[in-house]
Structure 1
Amino acid sequence: MVDKVIKITTPTDPYDPAWQVWNAQNPGVYKSVGAAAATEGGEDESGEEKPVTKPGKRSDRETSTPTDAARLAALETELASARQSADEAKRAAEDAAARLAAFDGVDPVEAKRLLKEKQEAELAAAEARGEFDRVKAAMVEAHQVELSAKDSAISTLQGQLTSLQAQIDELTVGRSFSDSAFIRDELVLTPAKTRTLYGAHFEIEGGALVGYDKPKGASDRTPLVDARGNKLGFEDALRRLIDADPDKERLLKSKLAAGAGSGTQEKAPAPTKQVELHGMSRIAAALSKQKSK
C-alpha cells in the first residue's frame, strides 16, 4: 500500500547530517544507501514519480554515525585478534605440555650419555662427508680441554714429587754423609760441609745411592765403579772423589803420631846442677838472691 509519493532530489547520503535532519522531518519515508536510493522514490526514465514503500525497522549499524561505525569495526578487529592470540597461546601450552609429557620417566644420566653418543655419531658422519674443518675444530677444542686438565694434574704431581724427593735425599744422601766413618775419621771437614762440596755427586737410582765423578748437571758424567764394573758404595765413592780433589792434602787429617822422634814433641829442659857453696861465696849468693826479690 502506497502511503504517499515524494520526490527525493537531495540529500541522497544517509550519513550526511542534512539527510539525517531530512529523515527526522519525514519519518515515514524509507531511503536506502547508494545509487538505489537515488533511483527509488525518484523519477523513472519517463519522468514519472515512483512510490516509496514503508521500510521495516532499521538496524543499529544503519542508524549509527560514521564515527561509531569505525569504532565498532576497530573493536571487532581487536576482539578477533585477541581471540586468535588466545587460541595460539592455548595451542602453544598444549604443545609444551605434550613435549614435557614425552620426557616423563626419562633418566637424565642416560639422556646425557645418549646425547654424547649422538654428538660422536654426528662427528663421525660429518667426517665421513668430508667436513674436516668442523671436525678438526671440535677435536682441537676437546684436546685443549684435556691438555688443560693434564697440565693441572702434572703441576700438582710435580710439587708432590719435589717434596718427596727432598725427603728421600735427606733420608739417604744426608744420612750417608752424617753416618760416614770416612768423614769422621779421615777428613778435617764436618759431614755438613762435606755434603755441601760433594752432595751433588750422589743420586738415588733404583733405590740405591750411586756416586758420579761429576756433579749433577755436568756433561759426560760417569758412575764410579770398581775394577769389575760394579758401582762403588758411598764410602768408597767419597774416598775416590777426595783422592781426585786437588786440595786432597788439606782435606785429610794428618796421620803422623806425636812423639817417637817425630820432632813434634818439645824436649824438657835439662835439670840445673846444684853447686854447693861455702864461706864468702855462700854469703854472696844469699845477698844476690835477696836483692832479686
Structure 2
Amino acid sequence: MKLKLDENGHAVLVDGKPVYVHDDGKEVPFDAAGTVATISRLNGEARGHRERAQAAEETVKAFEGITDPAAARNAIDIVSKLDQKKLVDAGEIDTVRSEISKAFQAQLDEANTKASGYEKQLYEERIGGAFSRSKFITEKLAIPGDMVQSRFGANFKIEDGKTVAYDQHGNKIFSRSRPGEVADFDEAIETLVEHYPYRDNILKSSGKSGGGAHQSDNNGTGTGKSYSREQFASMPPAQQADIGKQVSTGAVTITD
C-alpha cells in the first residue's frame, strides 16, 4: 500500500490519521496508535502462551518413564478401591460411582440445554440487531436487513463476547484501518458484499434509468410486481438475485 499525497506532496490526513491506498484502490486511514497497542497485546498473549507451555512441560516431567498410560490409570483405580474397601466392598463402589455419574450427567445435560438456549438468544440479539441497525445496509443495499441476514448471517459468530466475521473461505475478516483487530460489523458486511457474486443486484441503484433497465424474465417477474418478504425468502438464490436487481431499479418492491 502507498501513502496518499495531495497536490502539494503532503500526506492526506483523516481524523489526524494518514491515509494509505491499498493495492485494490481502497483508501483507509492508518491508526498507528491502535496498531502499536495491538502489537503490545499480541506480545503479551505470546508470553502467556510460552509460560503455559513451560508449566505443562514441568507437569509432564513428573510422568517420565511411564510407557503404558492405560496400565497406569488402572493401577491408580485399583489403589483407590483398596483404600475405600475399609468402608464398602469394591463392587459396591462401582455401583455408587455409576449412580453418581448418572446424576451428574443429568445435571450436565440440563446445564448444556440452558446454555444453548442462552447462546441462541445472545446470537439473535447481537447478530440480528447488528443487521437491523447497520448503516451500510440501510444506505448502500437495496434489500432489507433481514434478507441480508438470511444470506450472510452464517458468516458471523460470537467469540469471547465479540462479533467476529468469516469470509467465504472460513478466514476471519480483519480491519484494514485497525491492523491486527477483527473488522467491526459494517466493515465486515461491506467486505462480504464486495466479494458476493451478485453484489450488483443487491446494491442500491445510482439513480440512473433508461431502456437498459431489466423489466421481466422467465420466472414471471415484471414491472410493478410486489412480493412479500416470505415469498422472497422462499425463492431460489438465482431468482432472489434477479428480484434484488429489479428492486434496485424500482421495478419490483418487497413488502412486509
Task: Please give the range of the TM-score, normalised by the shorter of the 2 chains.
Answer: 0.3 to 0.5
When Rg is computed on C-alpha atoms for both structures, the one with the higher figure is 1
Structure with more relative contact order (C-alpha pairs < 8 Å, separation 6 or more): 2
Larger proportion of strand: 2
TM normalised by structure 2 equals 0.45
Structure 1 length-normalised TM: 0.40
